[in-house]
């Protein structure tokens, strides 16, 4: 590069994480005189809101993942590094990667969140969560393999367990997964098997509170529960999970001590998230006490106390909005925080004061099956077809890169008119042999 | 099922493998009074001729893979089982699967082929071949990771090795891969890196004979070599591989004893295939001596000697056509053999004599980069744009299922006009850490 000397003198902004927050920082700083290094362990930005459609075979991973380098090709001040982050050193302003070291003038940490099993990490092997492309293809394989194993099975109890799918957590992801999974079982696979009837499959959604989407304003939670029931989802409210193993999940009533054990081979975890491990390091070095879920408390400008050149954005941050309270872990929150951190850097460079961050809530929507969504846009509470149309438009609009928009639209159109889902591949290491062992275990159990 | 008794009395046709041959058998027998069981270890049929486009990030796996159950949904006499084949027993007409046992009246074995390292199986870990979806996503990750590691590297020798890609074998797959890989390096990634220049990457195609596609009629091999050179591929003819390790490949001249060692981190194996392991079992039990590459010699009706109810079709079979000699391992050969085996079963059921199989050669084409293909259709030798247009139409026509045809067309159109390839995901277990170790090894070597 010719401009080595010139660029060396420019402030160096290091962004950790290429999700919604990290990408927003880089994009907002496109024409600012800074050198930017964006570090991610993956070479793509993932449009996580549609990940459940990969898990249920409607879309391919590449449809919702865009190469970071392609997105940032024209951002000439951005260098992308594919690496693992090993250690931060806030005092000396350094970041240690698995194969490089960076020094920074500004740091934006936006490494997001991971699944939270609330101290029961051993449940992870039986109840995968949905955060990454690998999670999605693993869940997709698990769901499809359960039907395949049922077709090979003779014992009606084992068949029942194989055709029972339990989704833990009635937030947007849980509701969207449950709706899509009911469609897969009751529509897509309906005529494809010869011995079993996929339409007999049971999809259960377990939620500890009184209704799914309980943080949505009334009457939306009720409407969501009705829509799910209409799709054949068994909505189990007022129960939380007390145990998960390879052939069952145990529930306990939130109000009395009664328990239920459900025989199942497929449990999907949509019950909670916690901050990425980098949060702990950050809190230690900045002498902050982590907020619920290990998140890093940030100040009104999204920087952390005592380190005004270190910003934390997105799911990793705990931001208390004066009006809206603790901000949820949503893509728009992350994008807006990222953009705000970038604006603070721009203000610093111009010698202007930083402004406090304000979240502009455009609303949020969760899709429940075909033609139906539930949520709010501004002050309007919406459910049904209108909500679904708005959801569709917004998601198509926000999908990164035009090509993926076209591909997603073609596949949605196809799935809509034929009720088929073609991205139903079982890939990865063969688990066919392991299909027999749980069934044998169940027999002996 | 109501027709258990009726169907139990019908002849049972067991098909092993859901590739082009196996699928053709099932489809030809759609309206025949037989019970069919199709066994595959994967839940999808793979359109292998386009697998190289998955490996080079143009298409997603689901675009060229169709769920077997969806393809055969309306073939009511077909039952699909997802299982591993463990053992055959020709004498007692039984097939042992990992979780079931089948008895057959007719057996069609069509389990295809796998990579052939000619006794050097340890090369496999350094030089993956391209046969499965997992192979394709692994090769895709390997290629992209080499560029990523080069961007992080300082040592120019290591950068050179990382940006050198060696494809072993100048058949259609090797030529198609080399052309596509040259496009990726010289076009797609051109502006995406800040330190390295992907256009400096070297793509080498190693072929022992005097030209790539040497079994095509003259002047096509020369035309192929010219087209590859035009794309910036370094075509190394007259050399074969004598060693592969994690940082180099050693070549030996076919005519004199001279050797060459190329420093590279990415070797792709397209040099040879051998019959799937089931071929050995079949030959043993039928007392046949396996043909070159472990293939099973079949008779003029595609059945094996002494077992007229056992057919072997596709890549696994060695068929000597009276006019065309040893038939190549191509999709049309497999489809036609499968259809013929099915017709023999139909003839048997009607008490008519079986006819001998004749391969109808519609020709074959290999794509070399943008707008260019080489091959023959009937008696016509074609190269350049016309060949490419025909290739495009034929492949779109033969892709299983309409949805995938639309998706492939959209993505080809996009790639054509923008030179972009969006399915460039590095997925699977993170190999980032292992990127440093070969570079360190190279330094110490």
Question: Looking at the partner chain, which of A44, A60, A418 has a beta carbon nearest the beta carbon of B60?
Answer: A60
Q: Using CA atoms, how far apart are residues A104 and A107, in angstroms rounded to an integer?
A: 6
Residue A424 C-alpha, separation from nearest chain B C-alpha, in angstroms: 6
pLDDT tens-digit readout, B66-98? 999 999 999 999 999 999 999 999 999 999 999
Residue B67 C-alpha, separation from nearest chain A C-alpha, in angstroms: 6
Instruction: Give residue B210's pLDDT band: very low, low, confident or very high (50, 70, 90).
Output: very high
How many CB atoms neighbour CB B190 within 10 A?
Answer: 14
Cis link prior to B141 (omega < 30° from 0)?
no
Looking at residue A1, its pLDDT comes to 34
Tell me the chain A residues in contact with residue B80 when contact means C-beta distances shorter than 8 Å. Answer: 151, 194
Instruction: Give residue A429's pLDDT band: very low, low, confident or very high (50, 70, 90).
Output: low
Rounded mean pLDDT, A227-237: 96
pLDDT tens-digit readout, B140-170? 999 999 999 999 999 999 999 999 999 999 9
Tell me the chain B residues in contact with residue A67 when contact means C-beta distances shorter than 8 Å. Answer: 192, 422, 424-425
Q: Using CA atoms, how far apart are residues B396 and B375, in angstroms rounded to an integer?
A: 17
Looking at residue A162, its pLDDT comes to 97
Tell me the chain A residues in contact with residue B424 when contact means C-beta distances shorter than 8 Å. Answer: 43-44, 62, 67, 70
Residue A414 has pLDDT above 50, yes or no: yes
Report the topology of domain A121-271+365-444. Answer: FAD/NAD(P)-binding domain (3.50.50)
Report the topology of domain B4-41+83-115+274-349. Answer: FAD/NAD(P)-binding domain (3.50.50)
**Mutation for testing the A interface, residue in B66, B82, B149 having most A CBs under 10 Å:** B82
Looking at residue A323, its pLDDT comes to 86
Q: Using CA atoms, how far apart are residues B64 and B291, in angstroms rounded to an integer?
A: 31
Instruction: Give residue A430's pLDDT band: very low, low, confident or very high (50, 70, 90).
Output: low
pLDDT tens-digit readout, B166-183? 999 999 999 999 999 999
Looking at residue A420, its pLDDT comes to 77
Question: Looking at the partner chain, which of B99, B422, B426 has a beta carbon nearest the beta carbon of A435?
Answer: B99
8 Å CB contact of A427 and B133: yes
Element at A249 (helix H, strand E) = strand A248-253
Please state, for a pLDDT cut of 70, what percent of chain A lies above it: 94
Question: Looking at the partner chain, which of B1, B151, B433 has a beta carbon nearest the beta carbon of A194?
Answer: B1
Report the topology of domain B121-271+366-444. Answer: FAD/NAD(P)-binding domain (3.50.50)
8 Å CB contact of B406 and A414: yes
Distance (Å) of CA A62 to CA A6, B63, B180, B186, B423: 37, 11, 18, 22, 5
**Residue that has been written with the tokens 């937030």 in this structure:** A171
| Helices vs strands, H then E, count in chain A | 13, 27
Residue A408 has pLDDT above 90, yes or no: no
Residue B443 has pLDDT above 50, yes or no: no
Is B236:B133 a contact under the CB 8 Å cutoff?
Answer: no
Chain B residue with minimum CA distance to A35: B194
Selection from A60, A68, A75 nearest residue A19 by Cα: A68
Question: Looking at the partner chain, which of A67, A403, A422 has a beta carbon nearest the beta carbon of B62?
Answer: A422
Residue A216 has pLDDT above 70, yes or no: yes
Residue B430 has pLDDT above 70, yes or no: no
Count of A-B CB contacts under 8 Å: 167
pLDDT tens-digit readout, B358-404? 999 888 899 998 889 999 888 889 999 999 898 988 888 888 777 78
Domain boundaries, chain B: 4-41+83-115+274-349, 121-271+366-444
How many CB atoms neighbour CB A116 within 10 A?
Answer: 17
Token couple for A141: 């394989």
Looking at residue B121, its pLDDT comes to 92
Looking at residue B211, its pLDDT comes to 94
Looking at residue B369, its pLDDT comes to 83
Residue A284: phi and psi, rounded to 5, are: -60, -50
Looking at residue A2, its pLDDT comes to 37
8 Å CB contact of B422 and A66: yes
8 Å CB contact of A82 and B148: yes
How many CB atoms neighbour CB A259 within 10 A?
Answer: 12
8 Å CB contact of B425 and A133: yes
8 Å CB contact of A433 and B84: yes
Please state, for a pLDDT cut of 90, what percent of chain A lies above it: 77
Give the residue, A413 or A162, on which the prediction is more confident.
A162
Selection from A345, A270, A343 nearest residue A116 by Cα: A270
Provide the 8-state DSSP code for B188.
I
Specify burial of residue A171 (Cβ count, 10 A radius: 0-12, 13-18, 19+): buried
In A170-277, which residue ranges form alpha helices assigned H by DSSP? 172-183, 220-230
Residue B114 C-alpha, separation from nearest chain A C-alpha, in angstroms: 17
Looking at residue A439, its pLDDT comes to 34
**Mutation for testing the B interface, residue in A26, A43, A410 having most B CBs under 10 Å:** A43
CATH topology match: B4-41+83-115+274-349 vs B121-271+366-444? yes
Token couple for B6: 């009726």
Token couple for A357: 């961050």
8 Å CB contact of B422 and A145: no
Residue B31 C-alpha, separation from nearest chain A C-alpha, in angstroms: 17
pLDDT tens-digit readout, B275-301? 999 999 999 999 999 999 999 999 999
8 Å CB contact of A193 and B69: yes
Catalytic residues of B: 176
Give the residue, B190 or A427, on which the prediction is more confident.
B190
Residue A31 C-alpha, separation from nearest chain B C-alpha, in angstroms: 17
pLDDT tens-digit readout, A327-369? 999 999 999 999 999 999 999 999 999 999 999 988 889 999 8
Please state, for a pLDDT cut of 70, what percent of chain B lies above it: 94
Instruction: Give residue B44's pLDDT band: very low, low, confident or very high (50, 70, 90).
Output: very high
Rounded mean pLDDT, A304-309: 96
Cis link prior to A46 (omega < 30° from 0)?
no
Token couple for A414: 């196809």
Give the residue, B425 or A128, on which the prediction is more confident.
A128
Tell me the chain A residues in contact with residue B62 when contact means C-beta distances shorter than 8 Å. Answer: 60, 422-425
Instruction: Give residue A8's pLDDT band: very low, low, confident or very high (50, 70, 90).
Output: low
Is A260:A251 a contact under the CB 8 Å cutoff?
Answer: yes
Rounded mean pLDDT, A41-45: 95
Is B12:B54 a contact under the CB 8 Å cutoff?
Answer: no
Cis link prior to B219 (omega < 30° from 0)?
yes
Rounded to the nearest 5 degrees, what angle is found at the Cα of A237, between the Cα atoms of A231 and A239? 135
**Mutation for testing the A interface, residue in B54, B427, B433 having most A CBs under 10 Å:** B427
Looking at residue B444, its pLDDT comes to 32
Rounded to the nearest 5 degrees, what angle is found at the Cα of B404, between the Cα atoms of A410 and A419? 60
Lowest mean pLDDT segment, chosen from A210-214, B268-272, B390-394: B390-394
Instruction: Give residue B127's pLDDT band: very low, low, confident or very high (50, 70, 90).
Output: very high
Tell me the chain A residues in contact with residue B189 when contact means C-beta distances shorter than 8 Å. Answer: 69
Rounded mean pLDDT, B109-125: 94
Q: Using CA atoms, how far apart are residues A224 and A231, in angstroms rounded to an integer?
A: 11
8 Å CB contact of B151 and A422: no
pLDDT tens-digit readout, B242-254? 999 999 999 999 8
Residue B8 has pLDDT above 70, yes or no: no
CA A129, A135, A138, A140 torsion-angle sign: positive
Q: Using CA atoms, how far apart are residues B420 and B327, in angstroms rounded to an integer?
A: 37
Looking at residue A258, its pLDDT comes to 94
Give the residue, B405 or A127, on which the prediction is more confident.
A127
pLDDT tens-digit readout, B90-111? 999 999 999 889 999 999 999 9
8 Å CB contact of A98 and B432: yes
Looking at residue B434, its pLDDT comes to 39
Give the residue, A414 or B60, on which the prediction is more confident.
B60
Selection from A256, A68, A38, A98 nearest residue B426 by Cα: A68
**Mutation for testing the B interface, residue in A99, A187, A404, A408 having most B CBs under 10 Å:** A99
Is A163:A196 a contact under the CB 8 Å cutoff?
Answer: yes
Specify burial of residue B263 (Cβ count, 10 A radius: 0-12, 13-18, 19+): middle
Distance (Å) of CA A409 to CA A63, A406, A415, A422, B421: 10, 5, 10, 14, 18
Rounded mean pLDDT, A185-207: 94
Chain B residue with minimum CA distance to A1: B195
Question: Looking at the partner chain, which of A84, A193, A410 has a beta carbon nearest the beta carbon of B406?
Answer: A410
Is B39:B97 a contact under the CB 8 Å cutoff?
Answer: yes
Instruction: Give residue A7's pLDDT band: very low, low, confident or very high (50, 70, 90).
Output: low
Q: Using CA atoms, how far apart are residues A15 and B117, in angstroms rounded to an integer?
A: 44
8 Å CB contact of A152 and B100: yes
Q: Using CA atoms, how far apart are residues B47 and B394, in angstroms rounded to an integer?
A: 13
Residue B305 has pLDDT above 90, yes or no: yes
Residue B1 has pLDDT above 80, yes or no: no
Q: Using CA atoms, how far apart are residues B319 and B295, in angstroms rounded to an integer?
A: 9
Looking at residue B370, its pLDDT comes to 80
Tell me the chain B residues in contact with residue A189 when contact means C-beta distances shorter than 8 Å. Answer: 69
Residue B400 C-alpha, separation from nearest chain A C-alpha, in angstroms: 11
Tell me the chain B residues in contact with residue A63 when contact means C-beta distances shorter than 8 Å. Answer: 60
Rounded mean pLDDT, B117-141: 94
Q: Using CA atoms, how far apart are residues B285 and B94, in angstroms rounded to an integer?
A: 12
8 Å CB contact of A42 and B426: yes
Residue B430 C-alpha, separation from nearest chain A C-alpha, in angstroms: 8
Residue B2 has pLDDT above 60, yes or no: no
8 Å CB contact of B43 and A144: yes
Rounded to the nearest 5 degrees, what angle is found at the Cα of A137, between the Cα atoms of A136 and A143? 90
Tell me the chain B residues in contact with residue A433 when contact means C-beta distances shorter than 8 Å. Answer: 84, 98-99
Give the residue, A434 or A183, on which the prediction is more confident.
A183
Q: Which of A58, A79, A145, A176 is catalytic?
A: A176
Question: Looking at the partner chain, which of A60, A67, A430 has a beta carbon nearest the beta carbon of B424?
Answer: A67
Sheet holding B380-384, edge to edge: B364-367, B373-377, B380-384
Chain A residue with minimum CA distance to B404: A422
Residue A443 has pLDDT above 80, yes or no: no
Instruction: Give residue A433's pLDDT band: very low, low, confident or very high (50, 70, 90).
Output: very low
Provide the 8-state DSSP code for A231.
T
CA B278, B280, B283, B287 torsion-angle sign: negative
Residue A250 C-alpha, separation from nearest chain B C-alpha, in angstroms: 29
8 Å CB contact of A63 and B67: no
Looking at residue B408, its pLDDT comes to 83
Q: Using CA atoms, how far apart are residues B371 and B368, in angstroms rounded to an integer?
A: 8
8 Å CB contact of B99 and A407: no
Residue B340 has pLDDT above 90, yes or no: yes
Lowest mean pLDDT segment, chosen from A384-398, A409-423, B345-359: A409-423
- The SS3 of residue A130 is coil
pLDDT tens-digit readout, A247-298? 999 999 988 889 999 999 999 999 989 999 999 999 999 999 999 999 999 9
Residue A278 C-alpha, separation from nearest chain B C-alpha, in angstroms: 18
Is A240:A252 a contact under the CB 8 Å cutoff?
Answer: yes
8 Å CB contact of A432 and B145: no
């Amino acid at each position: 590069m010719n401009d080595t000397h010139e660029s060396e003198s420019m402030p160096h902004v290091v962004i950790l994480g290429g999700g919604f927050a990290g990408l927003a920082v880089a994009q907002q700083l496109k024409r600012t005189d800074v050198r930017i290094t964006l570090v991610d362990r993956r070479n793509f930005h993932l449009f996580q809101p549609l990940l459940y459609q990969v898990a249920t075979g409607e879309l391919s991973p590449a449809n919702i993942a865009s190469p970071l380098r392609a997105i940032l090709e024209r951002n000439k001040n951005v260098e992308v590094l594919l690496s693992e982050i090993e250690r931060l050193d806030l005092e000396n302003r350094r970041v240690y990667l698995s194969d490089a070291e960076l020094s920074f003038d500004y740091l934006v940490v936006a490494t997001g969140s991971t699944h939270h099993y609330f101290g029961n990490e051993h449940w992870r092997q039986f109840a995968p969560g949905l955060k990454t492309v690998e999670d999605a293809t693993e869940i997709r394989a698990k769901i499809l393999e359960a039907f395949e194993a049922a077709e090979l099975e003779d014992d009606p109890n084992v068949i029942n367990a194989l055709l029972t799918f339990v989704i833990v957590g009635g937030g947007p992801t849980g509701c969207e997964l449950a709706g899509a999974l009911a469609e897969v079982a009751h529509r897509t696979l309906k005529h494809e098997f010869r011995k079993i009837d996929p339409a007999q499959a049971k999809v259960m959604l377990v939620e500890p509170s009184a209704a799914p989407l309980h943080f949505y304003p009334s009457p939306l939670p009720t409407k969501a529960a009705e829509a799910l029931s209409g799709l054949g989802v068994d909505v189990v409210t007022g129960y939380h999970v007390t145990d998960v193993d390879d052939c069952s999940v145990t529930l306990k009533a939130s109000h009395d001590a009664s328990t239920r054990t459900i025989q199942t081979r497929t449990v999907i975890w949509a019950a909670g998230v916690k901050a990425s491990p980098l949060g702990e390091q950050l809190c230690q070095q900045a002498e902050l006490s982590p907020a619920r879920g290990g998140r890093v408390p940030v100040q009104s400008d999204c920087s952390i106390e005592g380190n005004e050149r270190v910003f934390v954005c997105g799911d990793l941050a705990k931001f208390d909005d004066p009006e809206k309270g603790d901000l949820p872990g949503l893509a728009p929150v992350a994008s807006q925080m990222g953009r705000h951190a970038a604006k603070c850097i721009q203000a610093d460079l111009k010698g202007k004061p930083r402004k406090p961050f304000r979240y502009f809530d455009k609303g949020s929507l969760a899709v429940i099956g075909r033609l139906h969504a539930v949520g709010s846009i501004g002050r309007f509470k919406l459910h049904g077809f209108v909500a679904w149309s708005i959801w569709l438009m917004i998601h198509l609009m926000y999908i990164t890169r035009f090509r993926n928009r076209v591909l997603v639209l073609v596949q949605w159109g196809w799935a809509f008119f034929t009720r088929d889902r073609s991205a139903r591949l079982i890939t990865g290491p063969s688990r066919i042999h392991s299909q027999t062992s749980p069934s044998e275990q169940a027999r002996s159990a």
